[in-house]
Amino acid sequence: MKKKSYYCIIITLFFLAFNSAASAQFVKNSMYFELFGNGGLYSINYDRLFSENFGGRIGFSHISNLEFIFSSVDNITIIPITLNYLTSSDHKFELGAGIAVVNISGGEIFGFKADKGASGVVGTGTIGYRYQPDSGGFLFRIGLTPFFAQDGFQISGGISLGAAF
């Protein structure tokens, strides 16, 4: 019950922040596909800039029958939620931190083991480059996306393609 309350609070704060952004001369929304990033193998993401330099992101990933390097699960769902700092220009330095909500059935990943099912939260971050013109259009991201799990620190990297609007 406590975990569900924490999830609800985090998601509510995330979406309330959308309404607090002042009008500006830059696009605030983006959608992108990320490969090997904060959402694991892949994720579909929505990103919102609250100001020119500060934003948040929520994503979704689901995979069935995953056999990958040191992990094996029957089903896995990952929801990455991060807050990001971006420098001001079309070519941005991106620095972010957040969580990834993980739900698995039958297997082991990020230190979670389950015969029938398990869920939990791992920490995640982003250190990378983002090309996102202030006027919108094509979006490209690449960077390091580490995970901080029960069994320690796991380094990862991701690449994203999408659109800013």
How does DSSP assign 117-134, residue by residue? -EEEEEEEEEEEEEE--T
DSSP three-state, residue 95: strand
- Write the CB contacts of 136 (distance below 8 Å, at least 6 apart in sequence): 27, 163, 164, 165
pTM of the model: 0.79
**What token pair was written down for 91?**
């070519």
> Which of 74, 42, 75 lies closest to 60 in space, CA to CA?
42
- Give the structural domain span for 130: 2-17+29-164
Within 10 angstroms of residue 158's Cβ, the number of other Cβ atoms is 21
- Into how many domains does the chain fold? 1
Question: How much of the chain exceeds pLDDT 70, in percent?
Answer: 79
Determine, yes or no, domain membership for 24: no
The arithmetic mean of pLDDT across residues 107-127, rounded, is: 80
Predicted confidence at residue 22, as pLDDT, reads 44
Determine, yes or no, domain membership for 54: yes
Rounded to the nearest integer, the mean pLDDT of the chain is: 85
Identify the residue whose tokens are 């919102």: 48
Q: Residue 129: pLDDT band by 50, 70, 90 thresholds?
A: very high
Predicted confidence at residue 26, as pLDDT, reads 83
Is the confidence at residue 79, as pLDDT, over 90? yes
Determine, yes or no, domain membership for 10: yes
Is the confidence at residue 101, as pLDDT, over 50? yes
> Of 94 and 112, which is predicted with more confidence?
94
CATH of the domain at 158: 2.40.160.20
Determine, yes or no, domain membership for 90: yes
CA 99 to CA 101: how far, in whole Å?
A: 6
Is there a contact between 113 and 119 (Cβ–Cβ < 8 Å)? no
* Each residue's pLDDT tens digit, 86-95: 998 999 999 9
Determine, yes or no, domain membership for 102: yes
CA 105 to CA 112: how far, in whole Å?
A: 10
Q: Residue 151: pLDDT band by 50, 70, 90 thresholds?
A: confident
CA 25 to CA 42: how far, in whole Å?
A: 31
